[in-house]
Amino acid sequence: MTRTDTVLVSNNFEDRTTQGWISNSSVISATYSSIMYHTGNGSLLFPEKKESWNAPTYDLLSQVKSGDTIGFSAYLYQNSGTDKTFQITANYVINGNENWLQFAGTQGTTVSNGHWTKIEGTLVIPQGNLSKFTVYPEYSGIATDGFYMDDVQIIRAAAVQSTGVVLSNDFEDGTNQGWSTNNSDIQPTVSTVSAHSGGKSLLYPKKVNTWDSPTYDLRSKVKNGDKLKLTAWVYYDSDTNATKTFQFTIDQVVNGVESWAQFEGTQGVTVPKGQWTKMEGTYVVPTAGAISKFTVYPEYTSPGKEGFYLDDVEIVNEGAAPNGISSDFEDRTAQGWYTQGSEGATVSPAIGQGHTGNYSLLTTGRQVFYDRPTFELKDMLIKGKTYKYTAWVKFNGEGANGTRKFSMFTTKKMRNTLLENMCRQLEPME
């Protein structure tokens, strides 16, 4: 916790009460117990489960709001005779819809029989009208055994500036630096066998399923409309194939719907065996909708189940993707406009010809009909969004009045397409 985080709940149960924890079952009560404790002389006991979802719960609705990042930590103990797998879950209602979401980092926490175990993680509350928010520990399976909980702390993290470098991994400290896995049976580890720089990298040892990969949870570091820029290096040497085809993927849940996308520019990257290869690309986070999951991971799409290495990962959040352009040319520059067509055409700011202000953009030296002023919008438009174009045009020395149109060109997979449906006629002005 940093100095600016806010402690919402702190429980040690030393006052011999449940300190606000209750049961979600009408027939089972959460109680104070002096039998087992992590520190002090007591803890919270949830004596048994009659249904798989039974658990002690805490109501946080009055202390949190949509968009908050909530941190949870506690110590759990159980003596059922076997190990159990726990997680921390939030049960919430947003815009009238009830949902359940796990605190990232708590899923699959093994609480060994007869040992106090720390469980901790974070969760970002989705956007919307929040009318319920409770949290609880639970273990998977249909067993009915009870468990103890002690030294609980729930915090609201201070707002984090999400722009700038949000992920930077070189693995030189010997840890995974927050990388996890989408298959709990396969864990990434730090390796000294091969590295792009320094002496260490992250090894994902093998794949059982085609989608097995090391993953990183970026949910707390992005928001709607952010533009992310990725660079990473990957390597493999344990395959008979001379090359593998990699991509960098996003697994996201928006408004409760899970989908997958790739960083643009990373699809189909060819990685030769025994050669560190750079991957780089960009991705714009969906501009609307409650984001409840946002993880990123490298994967190879060609056949094989062999492992691979990852190093020197950096993701920069450039903030909200540009939402179009505005050009008035009052700074006496072309403001990003350039000519496209024959070599003789030029664009330059012209004084005394502004529709407003003193300057406009003058195109001269046109030799063929397609000589034109052009602006590159490739990194400024978002798929599926509607854009409106307005401009003022004055013809100069071109003879009789005529019509002109505004055109948009796209290039995708080496095919050029003129989007005639996006053309607008610009009427001449006197």
Q: Summarize the confidence of residues 40-68 as an average pLDDT.
A: 93
Encoded tokens for 168? 């930077």
Q: Which residues are CB-contacts of 157 (< 8 A; sequence separation ≥ 6)? A: 5, 68, 69, 70, 71, 122, 220
Burial of 388 (0-12, 13-18, 19+ CB in 10 A): exposed
Q: Summarize the confidence of residues 133-154 as an average pLDDT.
A: 92
How big, in percent rounded to 5, are the helix, strand and coil portions of the chain? 0, 45, 50
Could you tell me if 150 and 44 are in contact, meaning their C-beta atoms sit under 8 angstroms apart?
yes
Could you tell me if 255 and 333 are in contact, meaning their C-beta atoms sit under 8 angstroms apart?
no
The mean pLDDT of the chain is 85
272 lies in the same domain as 354: no
Distance CA 356, CA 414 (A): 40
Residue 296 pLDDT: 97
Residue 195 pLDDT: 96
79 lies in the same domain as 95: yes
Question: Which comes out higher in pLDDT, residue 409 or 428?
Answer: 409
Look at phi and psi of residue 420 and say left if phi exceeds 0, alpha if psi is from -120 to 50, else beta.
alpha
Could you tell me if 64 and 31 are in contact, meaning their C-beta atoms sit under 8 angstroms apart?
no
Q: What is the pLDDT of residues 266-275, one digit of tens each?
A: 999 999 999 9
The verdict on residue 251 lying in a domain is: yes
10 lies in the same domain as 151: yes
Q: Summarize the confidence of residues 234-262 as an average pLDDT.
A: 90
Distance CA 351, CA 354 (A): 7
Domain count, the chain: 3
Encoded tokens for 65? 């709001």
Residue with tokens 């009427």: 427
Residue 414 pLDDT: 35
219 pLDDT tier (thresholds 50, 70, 90): confident
Residue 59 pLDDT: 97
The verdict on residue 287 lying in a domain is: yes
Q: What is the pLDDT of residues 413-422, one digit of tens each?
A: 333 333 333 3
42 lies in the same domain as 116: yes
Q: Summarize the confidence of residues 234-240 as an average pLDDT.
A: 88
Domain ranges, residue 46: 6-156
Residue 403 pLDDT: 64
High-pLDDT (> 70) share of the chain, %: 85
313 lies in the same domain as 172: yes
Residue 3 pLDDT: 44
The verdict on residue 333 lying in a domain is: no
366 lies in the same domain as 231: no
Q: Summarize the confidence of residues 37-49 as an average pLDDT.
A: 96
Q: What is the pLDDT of residues 318-345, one digit of tens each?
A: 876 666 677 877 667 787 788 877 777 8
Residue 426 pLDDT: 36
Q: Which residues are CB-contacts of 198 (< 8 A; sequence separation ≥ 6)? A: 170, 171, 172, 311
Residue 374 pLDDT: 86
The verdict on residue 326 lying in a domain is: no
What's the length of the chain?
430
Hey, which residues does 361 pair with through a beta bridge?
Answer: 349
Burial of 230 (0-12, 13-18, 19+ CB in 10 A): buried
23 lies in the same domain as 134: yes
Among 116, 140, 156, which residue terminates a domain? Answer: 156
The verdict on residue 299 lying in a domain is: yes
Residue 428 pLDDT: 37
pLDDT for 258 beyond 70: yes
Q: Summarize the confidence of residues 354-368 as an average pLDDT.
A: 80
Residue 126 pLDDT: 82
pLDDT for 305 beyond 80: yes
Q: Summarize the confidence of residues 39-64 as an average pLDDT.
A: 94
Concatenate the DSSP letters of all residues of 249-318 into one string.
Answer: EEEEEETTEEEEEE-BT-TTEEEETT--EEEEEEEEPPSSS-EEEEEEEEEE-SS--EEEEEEEEEEEEE
Residue with tokens 């408004």: 255
Encoded tokens for 425? 């006629």
pLDDT for 404 beyond 70: no
174 lies in the same domain as 311: yes
Q: Flag the least confident range among 343-347, 375-379, 412-416.
A: 412-416
Distance CA 405, CA 417 (A): 16
Residue with tokens 């402690």: 7
Residue 136 pLDDT: 97
107 lies in the same domain as 42: yes
213 lies in the same domain as 296: yes
pLDDT for 16 beyond 90: yes
Q: Which residues are CB-contacts of 15 (< 8 A; sequence separation ≥ 6)? A: none
Amino acid letter, residue 332 = R
High-pLDDT (> 90) share of the chain, %: 50
Among 90, 123, 156, which residue terminates a domain? Answer: 156
Encoded tokens for 5? 């985080």
Type and span of the H or E element at 121: strand 117-124
148 lies in the same domain as 177: no
The verdict on residue 1 lying in a domain is: no
Q: Flag the least confident range among 311-325, 377-391, 406-420.
A: 406-420
Residue 402 pLDDT: 59
CA 14 to chain centre: 40
CATH number, domain of 222, equals 2.60.120.260
Distance CA 54, CA 139 (A): 10
Burial of 348 (0-12, 13-18, 19+ CB in 10 A): middle
95 pLDDT tier (thresholds 50, 70, 90): confident
Amino acid letter, residue 63 = Q
Q: Flag the least confident range among 93-107, 168-182, 352-366.
A: 352-366
The verdict on residue 329 lying in a domain is: no
Nearest to 207 by CA among 277, 107, 298: 298
Among 156, 174, 197, which residue terminates a domain? Answer: 156
Q: Flag the least confident range among 157-171, 218-232, 238-252.
A: 157-171
The verdict on residue 223 lying in a domain is: yes
pLDDT for 90 beyond 50: yes
Candidate ranges 34-43, 66-75, 337-346; pick with highest mean pLDDT: 34-43
Q: Flag the least confident range among 59-68, 123-132, 223-232, 322-331.
A: 322-331
288 lies in the same domain as 413: no
Could you tell me if 391 and 363 are in contact, meaning their C-beta atoms sit under 8 angstroms apart?
no
Distance CA 152, CA 74 (A): 4
